Structure 1
Amino acid sequence: MGRKSLYLLMLGVFLACYVYTPLPENIEEPWRLMWLNTHLKTIVHLATFVELLGLNHFIDSMMIGMSFSEVPPTSDENVTVTETTFNDVPVRVYVPKRKSEALRRGMFYIHGGGWCLGSAALQNYDLLSRWTADRLDAVVISTDYRLAPKYHFPTQFEDVYNALRWFLQEKVLAKYGVNPERVGVSGDSAGGNLAAAVTQQLLGDVDVKIKLKVQSLIYPALQPLDLDSPSYRENSDFSILSKSLMARFWSEYFTTDRSLEKAMLSHQHVPVESSHLFKFVNWSSLLPERFIKGHVYSNPTYDSSELSKKYPGFLDVRAAPLLADDDRLRGLPLTYIITCQHDVLRDDGIMYVTRLRNAGVRVTHNHVEDGFHGALLFLNSKISYRMINQYISWLSENL
C-alpha cells in the first residue's frame, strides 16, 4: 500500500469514528441523527477551540454558526409573514391567507436555544410557525428575546412576558382577528421554560384580563437545582444536548462567571437555607418508577461559596418554574407536555406533569419513547413529522 493510500485510509477511519455515534436501538433513522450530531458537534468543537484561544466567547461563536440557517420573513401561498415589535420586542407574525368566517385561534411561540442561541428567523422555527398557522387556521406570533451572554436573567423572561402581555390586549387581538378565548402559548426547550414561567406569572397579573386557554411545553428545561436526575445520568453524553452543555446554558443564563457552571456540575450551588426547594424537584418522589429504574437519589451538597448571593436568579421561580408551590400551580390552563426518553431534560418535564396533576391541572403528557432533544424540529425526519402531527392535533382539539 502506497503512502498516499495509507493516509487516505487513516483519514477515512478518523472521519468514520468522528461521525459514528452510539445510539439506542429504538432510534429511528439513526444515520440521519448521526449526521445532524456531527454537524452540531463540529460547531461546538470549533466554538470551544476559538474560546480556548481567547478569540471569541463560546456562545457568540455558536450563534455565528446558527445564523446561516436564518431565513427572511417571506410570505407564501398559504400564509402572510411579517415582522413587527410588541412592546419593543421583535416578533414574526404568521396569518393564514384564506378567509375565515370566525375569529381565529392565537398561538404565541417562544423559540429554544438555551437562552443564548436561536431566533424566530431560524428556518426550522419559521417552517413550524407556517405549518401551525396554516393547519390550525391560527395567527402565530413567534417571538424573539435578548440573549446571553450579553443579557442575563431576568431579561429573557421580561422580554417574552412584555411581548405576550402586549399580544393579550383586546385591541391587538382584534387587529389580528384573534378570538380572546382561544389563545395559547408554546415553546421548546428554553422556550418551554419561558412558556411555563410566563404562564405562571399571568395568573397573578390583575392587569391582564385575557387569560391563556392552553400552554404547550416541548421538552422544557424547568429547574437548575439538580442536574443529577436519572435522565441527566442516562443521557449525559447523548447527541444534541449533553449534560455539560446544558449546565453551560443554565450558567450563562445567569452569569458569564463559569464558577456557577462548575458548581452545578458538582451539585454544590444551592445554599443550605434554600434546601426546602429540593422537595419541588425531588425526582425520587415525583417520577414514576419506570423512569427511576434503580437509580438512587443522592442528597445534595450545599454551596459554601455564596454563589447564590452573587447570582440569585437560579433560585427564582421565573427561571425555574418547577420551584413554584402548589398554590401558584393551581389555576394554570390546560397543558400539553412533550418529553423524550433520550433527553437530559426528560425528568424536568415528567416532574412537572406530576406536580401539575397533583395541583388539579388537566395535563396531556406525550412521552416519546424513541425521542431525543430537538426531535420535533429535526425536520425531514419521520419522528419530527410524527411529533408535529401529534402537537398540532392536540392544539386543534383543545385550543
Structure 2
Amino acid sequence: MGKKIILLLTVGVLAAYYVYTPLPDNIEEPWKLTWMIAVSKTVAYLNLFSEFLGANRFVNIAALSKRQEVPPTSDENVTVTDTTFNNIPVRVYVPKRKSVALRRGLFFIHGGGWSSGSFALYPHDFLSRKTAERLDAVVVSASYRKAPKHLFPTQFEDVYNSLKWFLRQDILENYGVDPKRVGVSGSSSGGNLAAAVTQQLTEDPSVKIKLKTQALIYPILQILDMNTPSYRENSHFPTLRKSEVAKGWYDYFTTDRSLENAILLGQLVPAESSHLFKFVNWSSLLPEKFKKGHIYKKPIHGSSDVAKRFPGILDVRAAPLLADDARLRGLPRTYVVTCQYDVLRDDGIMYVTRLQDAGVEVTHNHVDDGYHGAFFLLDLKISHRIINHYIDWLKENL
C-alpha cells in the first residue's frame, strides 16, 4: 500500500510540474490559462513525436485544424454561406433582420503564422458571427493558401484579390453594403496581411472604393529586429515564443532552413538597404514606459546574398512597418490591439507611433494583462473583454 501511495504522489508531482507554468501576477484566470497551455504543449509534443516518426509537421497541423472546424451554419440572426471571391474561398455572414439602410462591410483575415488556421475554426466563426450580429454588418471571413507549400507573396495575393473582389460596386450592391463603410481587420499574421493589403489599396488606381477603417489585432509587422524589448521580455512566454515567430517567418519565405539563423541574429539587411532600420528603430518609436531601461542595439548588416535569395524580407507586403511615411499618410482610421506579454507587442506600438506621426487617426488598445492569442481564447474573460472593445470601436468608427 505504501508503494502505491509513493507512486501516486510521484505521478502527481510530475503531472503538476508538467502542467504548471509561471505567469505574471496580473494575469486573469491563471489556472484556466495554465491548463490551456498544458493542453497546447501536449499537442505540440505529440506533433513533434509524429514528425520524428516520419509524418509531415504541416500535415499534422492541418489535420488538427480540420477537426476544430465548424460548418457554415446559419442561425436565427445570421445567414452563413461558404463561397468564393475571385476563386478564393471565403465565408460570408449576412444579418437576417431587415435593414432600412445599407449595411457596414467588414473583411476579416485570420492568423496562424501564414501556415495554419481557417475561417472555419470555431473562434473565427464565433467572432465573425458576433460581429455581423452586433454591427448589423456583412462580414467576409477570408482564406488563403498556406505556407510552406505556398510561399510569399501567395498569401498576400490571395487576400488582396478576394478583397478587391468584395470592393467591386456590383458585389457590394449584391450584399447591400455601403461602399463608404467598408473596413478590414485581422489578427496576428492576419493583422500583417490586413495592414499590407490596406497599404496596397491606397496606391491601386484600379480600386475605386477605399477602406474606411483597418483593425489590427496584435499584428506581426517586421522581421528586421527581433531584439525589441517585447521580444526580450517575452521570448519564452508560452502562447507565442520568439523561436515560433522565427519559424513562421522562414516558413513564409522559403523551405531553405539557412534563413533561420539570419532571422534570429538580425542579419538580414544588406548595407545598401540600411535606411530601412529607421522604420523599426524602437529607441525612437516606443514610448518610454515600454523601453524600461532596455538599451537599443542596432541590427547587424547581413550579406547582399540573403536579401537577393529571400527578397520578401525587405518587401512592405510582408513587413508593413517598412513602408515609408508617404505610403502611410493615405491610410484609413486605424485600431490596434497590443498585449503586454506578447513578443509582437512592440511591432504594433511602433506602427501606432508611425501612423500617428503620418497624420493617421489611431486608437491604440493596449491590454496590460494580455498575451498573444487572448483574443480567441473564448473560455477566458479576457477574450470577451478584448472582443467587446474591438466591436464597440467598429460600431463607432465603421
Q: Which residue of 1 aligns with 2:267?
A: 268
Q: 1:375 deviation in Å?
A: 0.8
Aligned equivalents of 1:68, 1:19: Cα separation in 2? 24
CA distance in 1 between counterparts of 2:328 and 2:59 reads 36
Deviation at 1:155, TM superposition (A): 0.1
> Is the CA contact (8 Å cut-off) linking 1:185 and 1:215 kept in structure 2?
yes
Letter in 1 for 2:77: N
Aligned pair count?
398
Q: Give SS of 2:131's match.
A: helix
Residue 354 (structure 1) aligned with residue 353 (structure 2): yes
Q: TM-score, normalised by structure 2?
A: 0.98
Show CA shifts across 1:285-306 (max 9, x none): 1000100001011122222382
* 3-state secondary structure, aligned to 1:81: strand
Number of the residue aligned with 1:35 = 35
Distance 1:167 1:75 in 2: 21
Structure 1 pair 301–355 and aligned structure 2 pair: CA distance change class (3 A) = same
How big is the shift at 1:57? Answer: 3.3
> 1:181: which partner in 2?
180
- What secondary structure, in the 3-state scheme, does the structure 1 residue paired with 2:99 have? coil
CA distance in 1, matches of 2:322, 2:268: 16
Secondary structure of the 2:180 match is: strand
CA distance in 1, matches of 2:183, 2:304: 41
The answer on whether the counterparts of 1:47 and 1:59 sit within 8 Å (CA) in structure 2 is no
Matched, 1:159 2:161: no
* Greater Cα shift, 373-382 or 300-309: 300-309
Contact 2:224 2:299 in 1 (8 A): no
Give the residue type in structure 2 aligned to 1:10. T
What is the match of residue 140 of structure 2? 141
Q: Summarize deviations over 1:165-186 as a string: whole Å, max 9, x none.
A: 0000000000000000000000
Aligned to 1:212: 211
Q: Partner amino acid for 1:59?
A: F
* CA deviation vs aligned residue, 1:208-251 (integer Å, no higher than 9, x gap): 00000000000000001111100001000102110000110111
Partner of 2:82: 83
1:323-379 deviation digits (Å, cap 9, x = unpaired): 000000011000000000000000000000000000000000000000100111110
Contact 1:104 1:137 (8 Å CA) reproduced: yes
Aligned to 2:239: 240
The corresponding residue for 2:198 is 199
> Amino acid of the residue matched to residue 382 of structure 1?
K
3-state DSSP of counterpart to 1:75: coil
CA distance in 2, matches of 1:34, 1:61: 24
Q: Which residue of 2 aligns with 1:395?
A: 394
Tell me the distance in 1 between the aligned counterparts of 2:237 and 2:56: 24
Show the counterpart of 1:316: 315
Listed as ranges, the gaps of 5+ residues in structure 2 are none
| Pairwise CA distance, 1:260 | 1.1
Aligned to 1:343: 342
Distance 2:42 2:271 in 1: 40
SS in 2 for 1:156: helix
Any idea what SS the aligned residue of 1:228 has? coil
Does 1:46 pair with 2:46? yes
Tell me the TM-score normalised to structure 1 length. Answer: 0.97
With over 3 angstroms needed to count, the CA separation of the structure-2 counterparts of 1:77 and 1:282, relative to structure 1, is same
Query: Residues 36-75 of structure 1: matches in 2 within 5 Å?
Result: 36-53=36-53, 55-75=54-74
- Distance (whole Å) between structure 2 residues aligned to residue 175 and residue 348 of structure 1: 37
Cα deviation, 1:91-123, whole Å, max 9, x if unaligned, reads 000001111111100000000000011000000
Tell me, in whole angstroms, the C-alpha distance in 2 between the residues paired with 1:310 and 1:58. 25
Preserved contact between residue 43 and residue 62 of structure 1 (Cα < 8 Å):
no
2-side partners of 1:259 and 1:11: how far apart? Answer: 41
SS at match of 1:113: coil
- Correspondence for 1:8: 8
- Aligned residue in 1 for 2:226: 227
Give distance in 1, aligned partners of 2:164 and 2:318: 18
**In the alignment, which residue of structure 2 is the partner of 1:104?**
103
Question: What does 1:97-136 align with in structure 2 at a 5 Å threshold?
Answer: 97-136=96-135
Note the C-alpha offset of 1:43. Answer: 2.1
Amino acid at match of 1:145: Y
State percent identity of aligned pairs. Answer: 67
- Whether contact under 8 Å (1:212, 1:333) holds in the other structure is yes
What is the DSSP-based 3-state SS (H/G/I as helix, E as strand, rest coil) of the residue aligned with 1:306? helix
Mapped contact 2:268–2:313 kept (Cα < 8 A):
no
Q: Deviations over 1:179-216 (max 9, x none)?
A: 00000000000000000000000001001000000000
Q: Distance in 2 between matches of 1:181 and 1:153?
A: 31
The answer as to whether partners of 1:44 and 1:62 remain within 8 angstroms in 2 is no
